[in-house]
């Protein structure tokens, strides 16, 4: 770590974490940010835990070499499987992301909460512990997202085939009559309009972006490593994907027009 004006590092299995970057950039506009989009290894959700830890270490190594003062693991699967390893092996603050079970359970009026997430997240010990801690009498309906990350990464979320696939995956939530839906993958907020189209309008949908940005700000203040820059911070996106079509689509959707893209 060089100084307080060193960048915030963020990594995810591709483009999903850009939803987190967007929230952090809005809350902390004067901070420099480096985002590592590991699209080559996307999705993480179906990989064994050992592979997720290995890939997360590689990403953390890269961002540490860029002198990042704090690293956000903008992936639910990587957080639930690798965050303890990362915090034990680096002298850098790490912020992880978990499905927002606590606010969903506490605010559900009919005690029926849906969770749409990857297999890697739903089967993790950390998710099980969090859900059990706040569950009380709440019925939790879990659905493994199939093909969603891949569609976002290949820029095919507008196709009828994808929307039919998504619609079928959301049926269990409608059948159970949930009033709250947790998006347990950072890719999923990028298709919020698609999800809303197939859900009852009364269902409250929660993702982790705002909470993560707020926690990032809190840690920067606690560690006294907030940037003292007065101008707008630089946003650099480093991708290992050979095609930038999907990336440019997401950046346009989020209005992150100040980002500089580097193909690695």
**Which residues are part of the catalytic machinery?**
75, 185
Give one word for 42, left, alpha or beta, with left for phi > 0 and alpha for psi -120 to 50: beta
SS3 state at 237: strand
SS3 state at 263: strand
SS3 state at 94: strand
According to DSSP, residue 155 is labeled T
Residue 261 C-alpha from the chain's centroid = 19
Task: Round to whole Å and give the CA distance between 92 and 99.
Answer: 23
Decide if 95 contacts 215 (C-beta within 8 A): yes
SS3 state at 123: coil
């Amino acid at each position: 770590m060089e100084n307080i004006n060193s960048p915030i590092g963020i990594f995810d299995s591709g483009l999903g974490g850009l939803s987190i970057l967007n929230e952090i950039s809005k809350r902390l506009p004067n901070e420099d940010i480096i985002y590592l989009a590991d699209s080559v290894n996307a999705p993480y959700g179906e990989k064994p835990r050992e592979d997720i830890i290995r890939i997360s270490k590689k990403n953390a190594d890269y961002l540490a070499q860029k002198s990042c003062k704090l690293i956000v693991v903008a992936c639910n699967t990587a957080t639930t499987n690798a965050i303890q390893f990362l915090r034990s092996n680096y002298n850098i603050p790490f912020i992880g992301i978990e499905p927002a079970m606590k606010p969903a359970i506490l605010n559900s009026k009919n005690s029926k909460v849906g969770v749409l997430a990857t297999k890697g997240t739903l089967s993790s010990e950390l998710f099980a512990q969090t859900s059990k801690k706040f569950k009380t009498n709440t019925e939790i309906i879990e659905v493994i997202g199939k093909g969603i990350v891949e569609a976002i990464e290949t820029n095919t979320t507008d196709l009828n085939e994808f929307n039919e696939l998504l619609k079928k995956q959301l049926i269990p939530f409608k059948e159970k009559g949930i009033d709250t839906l947790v998006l347990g993958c950072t890719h999923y907020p990028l298709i919020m309009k698609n999800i809303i189209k197939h859900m009852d309008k009364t269902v409250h949908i929660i993702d982790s972006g705002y909470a993560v940005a707020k926690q990032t700000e809190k840690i920067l203040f606690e560690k006294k490593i907030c940037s003292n820059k007065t101008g707008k911070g630089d946003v650099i996106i480093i991708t290992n994907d050979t095609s930038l079509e999907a990336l440019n689509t997401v950046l346009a959707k989020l209005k992150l027009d100040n980002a500089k893209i580097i193909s690695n």
